[in-house]
Amino acid sequence: DAGVIQSPRHEVTEMGQEVTLRCKPISGHNSLFWYRQTMMRGLELLIYFNNNVPIDDSGMPEDRFSAKMPNASFSTLKIQPSEPRDSAVYFCASSFPGPPTGELFFGEGSRLTVL
Amino acid sequence: AQRVTQPEKLLSVFKGAPVELKCNYSYSGSPELFWYVQYSRQRLQLLLRHISRESIKGFTADLNKGETSFHLKKPFAQEEDSAMYYCALSIHNTDKLIFGTGTRLQVFP
């Protein structure tokens, strides 16, 4: 398994543009998490899904952010419109079904720069 | 409120020196704590979990409920330990993890 796959790896866009980040979790995993990493705030949980259903989106900063998981093998995080303060590395992670172990498997991240 | 605090952004030591990366937490329930590590150009990965009481790559971490701490320690640092380290707290015994802001460990030769 190639692990969690994220795309694009790098995105540079201008303020006001729509940004879509994509994630393919590890096959068989049933929980998926979106995190944002910045120097100042570290890793912040934005939203997580269990069995494709959003369970907790309390970390989503504002209405400009939305996330979907249409099926078990794909999720998107969309920012519309984007702002310079959204510049960060966005990580997707997934975990096994069953009793929680605390082990999340992370993708390589999508580095977003909003000019 | 649930919170994980890592007071040091950067910790620099020489090879062979002891290392302690600090982590404090705030949580009203029974805490489940973890350390994650991100080596240069690698993915963030689990290093150890407190419930296992294990030593991984020479690192150990003891949960101190009285001091609400979960510091990561290693008696003799190696250059390959240079990485970003994150302390994490499991919420309500789920895989939802709250991370600290991270500490970058630099080990000089």
B93 vs B32, which has greater pLDDT?
A: B32
The pLDDT of residue B10: 96
Q: pLDDT, tens digit, for every residue of B39-85?
A: 998 999 999 988 777 888 999 998 999 999 999 999 999 999 999 99
The pLDDT of residue A1: 66
3-state secondary structure of B27: coil
Of A42, A103, A104, the CB nearest to B101: A42
The pLDDT of residue A12: 97
Size of interface A-B (CB pairs under 8 A): 57
Measure the CA–CA gap between A77 and A107, rounded to whole angstroms.
Answer: 14
Q: pLDDT, tens digit, for every residue of B89-100?
A: 988 777 889 999
Position B31 confidence tier, pLDDT thresholds 50, 70, 90: confident
Each of the 115 residues of chain A gets a pLDDT tens digit; together they read 689 999 999 999 999 999 999 999 999 999 999 999 998 888 999 999 999 999 999 999 889 999 999 999 999 999 999 999 999 999 999 998 877 788 899 999 999 999 9
Distance to chain A for B34, nearest Cα, Å: 7
Interchain proximity B44–A91, CB inside 8 Å: yes
The pLDDT of residue B96: 87
Q: 38-57 in A: which are within 8 Å (CB) of B?
A: 40-45, 48, 55-56
The pLDDT of residue B55: 86
Measure the CA–CA gap between A8 and A112, rounded to whole angstroms.
Answer: 9
Interchain proximity A43–B49, CB inside 8 Å: no
The pLDDT of residue B57: 92
The pLDDT of residue A41: 87
Residues 6+ apart with CB under 8 A from A34: A23, A45, A46, A47, A48, A67, A75, A77, A90, A91, A92
Interchain proximity A107–B97, CB inside 8 Å: no
Measure the CA–CA gap between A95 and A43, rounded to whole angstroms.
Answer: 17
Contact B100, B88 (CB under 8 A): yes
B95 vs B5, which has greater pLDDT?
A: B5
Q: Say whether pLDDT at B28 is over 90.
A: no
Interchain proximity A102–B45, CB inside 8 Å: no
Interchain proximity A102–B88, CB inside 8 Å: yes
Measure the CA–CA gap between B18 and A103, rounded to whole angstroms.
Answer: 27
Of B32, B43, B95, the CB nearest to A31: B95
Residue of B96, B99, B101 for testing the chain A interface, max A β-carbons within 10 Å? B96
